């Protein structure tokens, strides 16, 4: 997969100091996990599921999950299983591409028992389309069973399949069981590190255990009990930089009425390198606010600040904003290169003359930034995510 492959060469040259690289599913695990970006979920009951995947791939979606769990009702499971297998077989005959880059397609199962049944129905070509499985309600004991099913599927297909566990069980968020549960999850993902692509957060399920749901005017970090749980998940599961933990789902995509003024500043839109920033900038900001994307933008910024990479999304309109925010700015890139180049410690002044780069403490940060740079590219000096978003919307409109 290659992000922003839908942009023409002139637009890419105008935006990027370093363009995004093509990422194979067999590349370094943390790089592939970083490149997932906005992972779009689709119910397994969609009547034209293969067409949906092709259309979203063409629009810049790099990773999708065909869901057999929470997105469908209990009575629809058998039909959805058959529908997902049929869609994967269709995609095997005619794979989705963005330019010459296929995206990654996962299936979210309800239980480990579904995995061999699904794999058994795939044609050889369809098996090559499947990137792996999303494993819900993941804790150490049941997770071991799920991982065994994934490994057996790998043996049957003769190639690598990725697993993405979802942390969303009561044991994960209840204070008295959280640490022991997370340490067990960490042991299991360490044991199967070659097959665990990323750890995903089920913030909707975690909130629901307390009868909570974040309002469209808030981010998940405003829900204290979930925020504290996320902090502990990052502390245990992302510690050391060995595993990627992804950001939770943003579930809103239309805004009938707002209670609070948007915190999205006007300045980036007024100074962006648009064809007519005076006219187009405010209009773009107004559209983002109207579609609730300003809150999504804020939450993605907070995800990044708290050590999460990527985002679960449920609507195609979310994808461009998430991907634009993951493009590395020229300043970030210069600072990351400075830190990565210093192996003897010490402090170096930023080339932007506005901060210090402390080489040892900032090293893991720099490594994360440089992986993002490979996956999403580096902007030219003076450009911001607004320019990327504008270029993306111009193509898709």
Give the model's pLDDT for residue 260.
64
Rounded Cα–Cα distance for residues 237 and 51 (Å): 36
Rounded Cα–Cα distance for residues 111 and 145 (Å): 9
Give the model's pLDDT for residue 206.
97
DSSP state of 22: P
Rounded Cα–Cα distance for residues 385 and 326 (Å): 8
Give the model's pLDDT for residue 210.
97
Q: Which fold has domain 24-258+292-319?
A: TIM Barrel (3.20.20)
The closest of 370, 376, 372 to 388, measured between CA atoms, is 376
Within the chain, strands assigned E span 16-18, 38-43, 63-67, 104-108, 130-135, 162-167, 200-201, 247-250, 311-313, 347-349, 356-358, 378-379
Domains in the chain: boundaries: 24-258+292-319
DSSP state of 260: S
Cβ neighbourhood burial of 170 (10 Å; 0-12, 13-18, 19+)? middle
Give the model's pLDDT for residue 101.
56
pLDDT string in tens for the chain (397-residue length): 899 999 999 999 999 999 999 999 889 999 999 999 999 999 999 999 999 999 999 889 999 999 999 999 999 999 999 999 999 999 999 877 655 556 899 999 999 999 999 999 999 999 999 999 999 999 999 999 999 999 999 999 999 999 999 999 999 999 999 999 999 999 999 999 999 999 999 999 999 999 999 888 899 999 999 999 999 999 999 999 999 999 999 988 766 565 566 777 777 777 666 665 544 766 766 677 666 688 899 999 999 999 999 999 999 999 999 999 999 999 999 999 999 987 777 888 898 889 999 988 999 999 999 999 999 999 999 999 999 998 988 786 6
Q: Which residues, at least 6 apart from 243, have a Cβ–Cβ distance to it below 8 Å?
A: 30, 189, 193, 196, 198, 199, 237
| DSSP-derived 3-state class of residue 342 | coil
In this structure, are residues 341 and 387 in contact, taking their beta carbons and an 8 Å threshold?
no
Rounded Cα–Cα distance for residues 240 and 103 (Å): 28
Give the model's pLDDT for residue 293.
80
Give the model's pLDDT for residue 97.
64
Long-range Cβ pairs for the range 362-366 (8 Å, 24+): 362/335, 363/339, 364/241, 365/336, 365/339, 366/335, 366/336, 366/337, 366/339, 366/340
């Amino acid at each position: 997969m290659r992000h922003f492959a839908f942009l023409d060469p002139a637009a890419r040259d105008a935006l990027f100091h370093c363009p995004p690289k093509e990422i194979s599913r067999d590349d370094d695990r943390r790089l592939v996990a970083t490149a997932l970006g906005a992972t779009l979920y689709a119910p397994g009951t969609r009547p034209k599921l293969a067409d949906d995947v092709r259309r979203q791939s063409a629009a810049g979606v790099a990773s999708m999950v065909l869901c057999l769990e929470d997105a469908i009702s209990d009575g629809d499971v058998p039909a959805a299983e058959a529908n997902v297998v049929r869609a994967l077989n269709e995609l095997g005959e005619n794979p989705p591409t963005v330019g010459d880059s296929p995206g990654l397609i996962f299936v979210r199962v309800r239980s480990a028992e579904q995995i061999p049944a699904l794999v058994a129905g795939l044609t050889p070509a369809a098996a090559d389309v499947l990137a792996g499985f999303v494993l819900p309600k993941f804790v150490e004991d049941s997770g071991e069973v799920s991982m065994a099913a994934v490994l057996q599927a790998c043996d049957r297909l003769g190639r690598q399949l990725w697993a993405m566990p979802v942390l969303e069980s009561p044991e994960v968020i209840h204070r008295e069981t959280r640490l022991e549960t997370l340490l067990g999850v960490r042991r299991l993902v360490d044991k199967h590190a070659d097959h665990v692509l990323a750890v995903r957060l089920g913030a909707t399920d975690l909130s629901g255990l307390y009868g909570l749901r974040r309002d469209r005017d808030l981010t998940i970090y405003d829900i204290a009990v979930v925020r504290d749980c996320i902090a502990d998940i990052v502390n245990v599961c992302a510690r050391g930089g060995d595993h990627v933990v992804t950001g939770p789902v943003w579930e809103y995509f239309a805004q009938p009425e707002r209670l609070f003024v948007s915190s999205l500043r006007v300045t980036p839109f007024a100074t962006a390198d648009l064809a007519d920033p005076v006219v187009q900038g405010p209009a773009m900001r107004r559209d983002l606010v109207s579609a609730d994307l300003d809150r999504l933008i804020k939450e993605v910024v907070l995800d990044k600040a708290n050590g999460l990479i990527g985002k679960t999304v449920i609507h195609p309109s979310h994808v461009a904003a998430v991907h634009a925010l993951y493009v590395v700015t020229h300043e970030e890139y210069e600072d990351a290169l400075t830190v990565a180049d210093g192996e003897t410690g010490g402090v170096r002044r930023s080339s932007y003359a506005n901060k210090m780069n402390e080489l040892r403490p900032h090293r893991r940060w720099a490594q994360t930034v440089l992986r993002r740079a490979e996956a999403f590219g580096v902007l030219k000096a003076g450009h911001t995510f607004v320019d990327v978003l504008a270029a993306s919307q111009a193509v898709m409109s």
